[in-house]
Structure formats: structure tokens, C-alpha cells
Amino acid sequence: MSVNGRWLFGILLLTAFCIWVSLPDTTGLRIDLDNDGTDDIVLNVRLSQGLDIVGGVRVLLQSELPPSAYTIEDLRQTANNVARRVNALGVTEPTVQVQGNNRILVELPNVEDPNEAVNTIQQTALLEFVNFSGLGGQVDQFIGRHILTTQQALIISQRGEVADEIVRLVNPLTNQPFQTVITGADLQAAAAEYNQQWIIRFDLKPEASAAFSQYTGANINQPMAIVLDGVVLSAPFIRAQLDSGGVIEGGFTEQEARQLALQLRSGALPIPLRVEATETVGATLGQESINLSIRAGVIGVLMVLLFMLIYYRVPGLAANLALILFILINFSMFKLIPVTLTLPAITGFLISIGTAVDGNILIFERIKEEIRAGKRLDNAIEAGFFRAWHSIRDSNTSTIIICAILFFFGQTPGASIVAGFAVTLAIGLIINLFTAVVVTRTFLRVLVTLLRQPIERRAWLVGA
């Protein structure tokens, strides 16, 4: 098989895959290679649409602490942590905004389980490693129960509350709160893993490793409780000195382990929050507006295809085929990543279509110049692609850099729509580097091979 034949075969396989991904009924692929009941290959496919298109949930969160107990910077950091949590939940393109000096507004597009999302946002996920030394055989009676720790006592005092059951919750040996060794704020990383049971493996920040190492080294063969939001998950015995991390066990289900790891990765909220109001909101765009937008996009693409075919003839046909594949690859990437489609995100995609056409025009004009200079058809095509490549690469790269800057500033709460625009535009620019050069060149070579004699007799077939 020739080089053109191999490239064409690969492109056809890619086209078939993209068509499969783009079909409305495609939800993914799961393959169990060794028949052990566990999927070895998992490919999730879904179309995620933004709040302005499909609606979603709006949640108003309010601080449980008085404004005098924290700074506005603490509130902004809490909003940042909330944004990271909802993004990690798969709810991309959220709107997270600070309102006043004690509220955070969260808008979640197309959520499937509002209660789970709200719970994950609201929970402080206060993880503590607590000193249980000396309890010995009494450890089991504390598993699954609430206890009072020095860290919780500090939070209670900040809220101005009184612990109703403080006597029952304190350490029975000292009649004092249990001592907190370190908290989840000292974690550097946390991930859910399966090793006969679901566990959470964690790493500590360098500044906390020394204290943790010293404590575990001095308390070998003593129990240490792992406490989440005041509840004892487990109380394993320390068997060796732990320097930089370890494992959290607690009889977790897969969902519980992944959700807890998410909360720990995104950091404990600097300010505890309560849900002030929750409401389901409809799409900000009417269905008629959506239909008109789709119609306008389709008409625009058809006009571009018609212009390329009329003005550039055979090369235009190759460019049209490549442009259709460009659209298919983009849409497939949107479903595979997934990218939330909002109006700004769709705008970024449409602009990327323009850059894809612009790249082809640059190539074809170079080819026409080479033909007019007297070069043979095959040499003119290769020279045209070679000389146009540097311009296409440099222009796309400069725009991708701008997209990266927009994405960076789009991480600010309330500015996520900017990030959505940058993501879809950048994806289109990257794909264009492949389709404009590789795919268009392959299609054009194949068409020239099939139509060589008519093209050589009629130069206007290549626009020359």
C-alpha cells in the first residue's frame, strides 16, 4: 500500500470513529478483556450543555460564621475551592460568584443529581488524624461515633456555639477533647484506590511531614483515629513511622471514596457554608433561539463549502472533505472530554472553523503561485503545502497562546464562560494543524491521482 493509501485508510478509520462518537445514542464503550467482571477499557461519551442552553441548578450558599470572623480573601478562597469541587464533579462551566461579604452563588448546568452536588459543595470535609493513644481495647466503641477534638472545639468557639454533648464526646481518659495531630489542610494529594477494598491514599505537604513522622515514630503500636467531620472512620494501630503519607480506610463504597478524595484534594473550605436557597432554573435561551442559532451555523458552513468548491474547484473539494472531518473531530472531542457547550464555547468553535478555512486558502494560493511559476502539478502541491505550513503553524500557535491566557483568567469565579470560549477555540486550532495539512493534502493527492489528465489539460480545475 502506498503512503497516500495508508494515510487515507487511517483517515477513514478516524472518520468512522468520529461519526460513532457523534451519534446521539452513543454513551460510551466498556470492554472486559479478561472476563473478571471488571471493565478494562472504559470510554465515556456524553454531550454536556451549559446553563444558558439546558438550564440547571442555582445554589445560594451563606457563611455560617459572622463576617467579623473571616476576611474577604477567605471568602474568595472558599469560592475557589467550591469551583474546583464542582469542576471535579464533572459539572464544567459552573458559575461561582462571591456576593456581598457572606454569600456565594453557584450555578450548575445540566446536573443529574442536584442533592449530591449540593452536599459535595457544602461539606467542609474536615479530616483529622487524632491521638487515640492509651485507649487500647476501647477503640472499637468509637468507630462510627462522633467525638470532640481540639480542632473541632476551636471551630465551635469561633462560631460562638456550645457543644451540647461535650461530656460524652471528650476523651474518657482525660476528660478533655481528643488531640488533633494534623488536619486535611496538611494534605498535598489524595486519590481513591481499590485494593481488596476502597481506600484513599494520601501524601502530606513537606511542612507537615516532620510533625507527622515524629508523632507516628513516638506512638508505634498505639491507635490513631481517622476522623471526618467529627465521625471516627477507623482507628488503625501505628505499625511503623510514617514520613510523608499513608492510607485512609473506612469501609468506603466506590462513590464515597471518590467523593471524599475529591473533597480532600480541593481543600477544606476556609469558611463553613450552609445552603440558603436552591432553585432549578430553565435555559436562558428559548428553544426557538437555539434552533435559529443552529440554522445560522449550518447555513454559514454550507456557504463556506460552496465558496471553496466554486473558487478552488478540485482543491476546494479536498478542503471541503477535510473541513467536514474537522467538524466531526471537534464535536467528538467535545463529547469525549467533555466540553460544556455554552454560547461562548460555540462561538469559539465557529471561529475555529474560520481559521481552518483560512489555512486551506493560504495553501491553495501558494499552490497557484507555484503552478503559475511553471512547476509541475505534483511539485507545486508539495511546495504549496511546505511553504504554507510555517505560516499556519505560527498563526495558530500565537492564537493558542492567547487562548491559554484567556483560560488562565477564566479560572476566576464568575468568569468561566471566558474559559469555555478559550477551550473550544484552542481545540479547533490544534485539530486544524492536522486537518489543514495532513487530511487536505491526502485528499488532494488522491483526487489528483484520479483526475490527473483532466487537471493537466485544464489548469482552472485547480484554480490556476
- Where residue 37 falls among pLDDT bands split at 50, 70, 90? low
* Cβ neighbours of residue 435 closer than 8 Å, sequence gap 6 or more: 322, 323, 325, 326, 329, 356
pLDDT one-digit tens code per residue, 109-135:
777 666 766 776 766 557 788 999 988
Mean pLDDT within 395-401: 94
Angle made by CA atoms 448, 452, 457, in degrees to the nearest 5: 130
3-20+285-462 and 48-122 have identical folds:
no
**Burial grade of 16 (CB within 10 A; 0-12, 13-18, 19 or more):** exposed
pLDDT at position 96 is 82
Name the average pLDDT for the chain.
83
Fold of 3-20+285-462: Multidrug efflux transporter AcrB transmembrane fold (1.20.1640)
Give the bridge partners for 28, in sequence order: 44
Using alpha carbons, select from 108, 128, 126 the residue that is nearest to residue 116. Answer: 108
pLDDT band at 237 (very low <50, low <70, confident <90, very high): confident
The structure's pTM equals 0.64
Please choose, from the candidates 361, 385, 360, 384, the residue with its C-alpha nearest in 3D space to the C-alpha of residue 372: 384
Is 70 exceeded by the pLDDT of residue 432?
yes
Question: Once rounded to an integer, what is the mean pLDDT over residues 393-414?
Answer: 86
* CA gyration radius, the chain: 29
Beta-carbon contacts of 440 under 8 Å, excluding residues fewer than 6 positions away, are 318, 319, 322, 360, 363
pLDDT in tens, 241-281: 888 888 877 677 887 788 777 766 665 677 878 888 888 77
Report which of residues 354 and 261 the model is more confident about. 354
- Taking only the tens place, the pLDDT of each residue in 161-203 is 554 444 455 677 777 889 999 887 788 888 888 888 888 888 8
SS3 115: helix
pLDDT at residue 414, as a whole number: 58
Domain ranges of the chain: 3-20+285-462, 48-122, 127-268
Q: Give residue 78's pLDDT.
A: 83
Q: Please give the Cα distance from 413 to 79 (Å, whole number).
A: 7
Class in CATH terms, 127-268: alpha beta
Tell me, what's the pLDDT at 164? 47
Contacts of 107 by beta carbon, 8 Å cutoff, 6+ apart = 51, 56, 57, 58, 59, 94, 95, 96, 281
Is 48-122 CATH 3.30.70.3400?
yes
According to the model, what pLDDT value does residue 40 have?
Answer: 65
* Least confident residue range of 29-38, 365-374, 379-388: 29-38
Report helix angle 114-122 to 254-265, nearest 10: 40
